[in-house]
Amino acid sequence: MMHAVVSVDGFIADPEDQVGPLFDWYGNGESPLGDDGGFRVSKASADYTRPLWDSLGVTVMGRNLFDYTNGWDAKPPAGEHVVVVSHRPRPADWHPEASHYHFATDVPEAIAKAKELAAGRTVALTAGDIGGQAFALGLVDVVAMDVAPVFFGKGKRYFGSADAQQLLEDPHVVIQGNRVLHLQYRVRTA
């Protein structure tokens, strides 16, 4: 599953990697997400997001996002493992106790490692260049978007630089939250 919050014009961040108001819906509701209570969303968004996060075993992300978030300080936001696609090794001084973070040199290797680690649970790919590469290689079965009513005009594209045309099925999940529309599409295989 490829997943991200996205603007109505298809961007996951502005050109400087800033998400601006894309994530505002994480703080505009009455229902807490996660154990720390930091995110509070509408009931509809919570009812959608909690089971989705609970189903995740592994997240595959690119090195840019890893560096930008500092790997979420060695605490995956969902799931038990993270696989980082990078041609650079794991930073030597970065959380040596974080054995649940793995590094792979390309997308197919990362997906294979993630499937092994997931033990039957869902593998989530972050959108952007890594997700777009996996999508172009036919390694994505579901496209999930949390569409925020924001227009960026330019920035980091949901599908990265992927330019292969691919049809999706009709959305099989459509849920309206406060300031967000949750959508899921199965990737058409034939």
Rounded (10°) angle between helices 107-118 and 129-136: 90
Instruction: Please report the pLDDT score of residue 166 as a whole number.
Output: 86
| Residue 32 burial by Cβ neighbours in a 10 Å radius (0-12, 13-18, 19+) | middle
Query: Whose CA is closest to 171, among 144, 141, 190?
Result: 144
Instruction: Please report the pLDDT score of residue 164 as a whole number.
Output: 77
Give the residue ranges of the chain where pLDDT is below 50.
none
Instruction: Please report the pLDDT score of residue 37 as a whole number.
Output: 65
Rounded to a whole number, what is the distance in angstroms from the first to the last CA of the chain? 18
